[in-house]
Structure 1
Amino acid sequence: MPPQKNPTKDAARLKTVKQVAFEDNVSEKTVRRAIDAGLLEVIRTGPRGRLIRIHPDAHMAYRRRRDW
């Protein structure tokens, strides 16, 4: 039987808009613009999908496209 993924462990790795902005040294508004433009893939959680979380792999893909 293959090992099962632990959703709690994966959820702990997800980043907020604020964390991504801090790591990239840009404003939160810049990150939100990238999300709106479809350049940064996000996971929407919480009531009605209002909370935005970014998987580290999606963040790295965004950074590679931007040539950081």
Structure 2
Amino acid sequence: MPPKTFSKTETLRPLLTVKQVAELDQCSEKTVRRAIAAGLLEVSRVGPGGRLVRIDPAAHAAYRARCLW
């Protein structure tokens, strides 16, 4: 699949780290990683070998709406 291209008028949203999501949800990073492993939280893997995990704010909002009360 080719990489997504953005138009000049489209702005990029900053992606969140696991730590930032844990702070927003007031839980541990391990809990966030468990949600990722269970497929409850959609992530993007970046960096060499796809080792770094980043979460789109929209995916985080969808996770919160689905899983948190």
Alignment TM-score, normalising by the size of structure 1: 0.84
What is the count of residue pairs matched by the alignment? 64
Q: 2:7 aligns with which of 4, 9, 15?
A: 4
CA RMSD of aligned residues (A): 2.1
- What's the counterpart of residue 65 of structure 2? 64
Alignment TM-score, normalising by the size of structure 2: 0.83
Q: Which has the higher helix share?
A: 1
- What's the counterpart of residue 27 of structure 1? 28
Query: Residues 5 and 41 (structure 1 numbering): CA distance in 2 closer, same or farther, change over 3 Å?
Result: farther
Gaps of 5+ in 1: none
Gaps of 5+ in 2: 1-5
Matched residues in 1 for 2:58 and 2:64: separation? Answer: 10
Q: Percent identity?
A: 62
Structure 1 residue 67 displacement after superposition: 3.3
